[in-house]
């Protein structure tokens, strides 16, 4: 019997088939959805099912898009992301499989504040596209409190509620291609 070492496969994020979205409550009664349109990342896996894969991901804060230029500029300001001083949001972690369930656990850094986070992951499989290229797909979901990362700006409404909710829901759809 041979103790052959598994070969690590590097995968790159396909930006044309990946979406990074977030949702946050506005005035307590509605939800604002936004996205980041510029990001990069890499997954390195020794297993076909991606169990134990190392994941790193970087989001360009300046690419935030909430369909409102004024709101986007406010989010880029020192009140929120301080994009000039902190141009990227970064994640480094491990994709783990337990039974049929996957989770992504690692360090998320926003505004130089790093916290351990865990996200639920659906691995949608690996397929060959019509040109014979391998593609792997994942759906990543989670929540975080924006105040944990220094995004504390808010204001009270006339009715006594807060303008911006503290909980941020993340919804990320990722397609990988071999690097």
| pLDDT band at residue 164 under the 50/70/90 scheme | low
In a domain, 3, yes or no: no
Q: Is 93 left (phi over 0), alpha (psi -120 to 50) or beta?
A: beta
What gap in Å lies between CA 73 and CA 98, rounded to an integer?
41
Phi, psi angles (nearest 5°) of residue 122: -105, 120
> Is residue 46 predicted with pLDDT exceeding 70?
yes
In a domain, 89, yes or no: yes
The average pLDDT across 96-118 equals 95
Count the neighbouring beta carbons within 10 Å of the beta carbon of residue 78.
12
Q: How many domains does the chain have?
A: 1
CATH of the domain at 63: 2.40.128.110
Contact 34, 80 (CB under 8 A): no
The range of the structural domain enclosing residue 26 comes to 9-178
In a domain, 164, yes or no: yes
138-150 pLDDT tens trace = 999 999 998 888 7
> Is residue 32 predicted with pLDDT exceeding 90?
no
In a domain, 102, yes or no: yes
In a domain, 1, yes or no: no
In a domain, 123, yes or no: yes
Query: pTM to 2 decimals?
Result: 0.87
């Amino acid at each position: 019997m041979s103790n052959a070492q598994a070969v690590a496969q590097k995968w790159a994020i396909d930006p044309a088939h990946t979406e990074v979205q977030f949702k946050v409550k506005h005035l307590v009664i509605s939800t604002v959805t936004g996205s980041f349109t510029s990001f990069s990342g890499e997954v390195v896996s020794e297993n076909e099912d991606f169990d134990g894969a190392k994941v790193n991901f970087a989001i360009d804060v300046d690419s935030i898009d909430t369909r409102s230029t004024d709101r986007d500029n406010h989010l880029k300001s020192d009140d929120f992301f301080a994009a000039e001083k902190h141009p990227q949001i970064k994640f480094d972690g491990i994709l783990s499989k337990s039974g049929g369930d996957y989770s992504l656990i690692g360090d998320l850094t926003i505004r130089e504040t790093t916290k351990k986070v865990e996200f639920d992951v659906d691995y949608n499989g690996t397929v060959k596209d019509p040109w014979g290229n391998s593609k792997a797909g994942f759906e990543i979901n989670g929540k975080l409190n924006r105040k944990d990362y220094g995004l504390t700006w808010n204001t009270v409404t006339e009715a006594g509620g807060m303008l911006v909710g503290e909980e941020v829901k993340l919804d990320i759809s990722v397609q990988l291609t071999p690097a």
